[in-house]
Amino acid sequence: MKGKGFRKLVLEFENFHHAEFYREVDSTNLKLLEWLKTEPERADVIIAATQTKGRGRRENIWFSPKGGLWLSARIPYFDFGKHLSVLNILCGLSCVKACNSIINEMNMSLAKTFLRWPNDLILLDRKLGGLLIEIKTVGRFVKSIVLGVGINVNQKTLPAQIKKQAISLMIATKKRFSRYDLMLRILKELDMMICGFKEKGTEDMAADWKSVSYEIGRRVEIVTGKGRKTRGKVVGIGRSGELLLIDDNTDTKRIFQGFGLKLLDK
């Protein structure tokens, strides 16, 4: 990162203490994972104005031009239960709440952000952002958890490859947003989520999720294990963050991992 100017910031959250801002990095997730290995006390949040090798879920490239919010935060390890799905949902909920609070403050409450299972941020039926959670284990033990958040904020246009399915806050509302403010709101929500989980576990998770779920009550198709497609009506999420579907035979299906969720009754 030589010559790619950076700034440090002291944070006053219970779980996040030091952030570093960069003009350009390869990937904020990669940088933070590297630091956790070599300099574990260095920082628990990293933000970059652009990423040259932004990474998305399932090995996808994540376009990270200027104008977006590209950040990674170290999530302190505590037992999220058996399934990573809980972590996906809780982090997704924190980001949706942060986006909606900043949108509401701009008097743009008609533009509401939804959560598409497990953790895509959806605005006006297009992808506003996504989360990439990476976990390093040593043997059977979780060593570190890095949450990467990518949100399209002030971009006036998006790359041709993603233009049809993606959106930015600027494109949706014609307003500029402070990425710094959005970052602080995300960290505040994550901080409260971590404290809340320690205290009450997943008690409020399903209700919170229902209020911002993109697909609740809708018929969907989702690609699950080995490329198999499962269809059904979404009725909620379970205690482990799994998606609950009622299929055409009225059987309840619990989906722990899946992608490419499509609405069938648009």
The encoded tokens of residue 87 equal: 């972590």
CB 119, min distance to ligand BTN, A: 7
Contact range with ligand BTN by CB under 6 A, out of 50-58, 110-118, 158-166, 251-259: 50-58
Count Cα neighbours of 251 within 13 Å in the Cβ-side half-sphere.
6
Q: Which is nearer to ligand BTN, 86 or 146 (CB)?
A: 146
Q: Shortest approach of ligand BTN to residue 171 CB, angstroms? A: 18
Could you tell me which stretch among 4-12, 77-85, 126-134, 191-199 binds ligand BTN (CB under 6 A)?
126-134
Instruction: Tell me which of 67, 92, 118, 130 binds ligand BTN, using CB under 6 A.
Output: 130
Identified binder of ligand BTN from the candidate list 20, 22, 28, 95, rule CB under 6 A? 28
Spell out, one character per residue from 66 to 95, where the chain touches ligand BTN: x when CB under 6 A holds, - when not. ----xxx-----------------------
Residues 6+ apart with CB under 8 A from 255: 222, 224, 230, 242, 243, 244, 245
The footprint of ligand BTN (CB under 6 A) covers: 27-29, 51, 54-57, 60, 62, 64, 70-72, 120, 130-132, 148-150
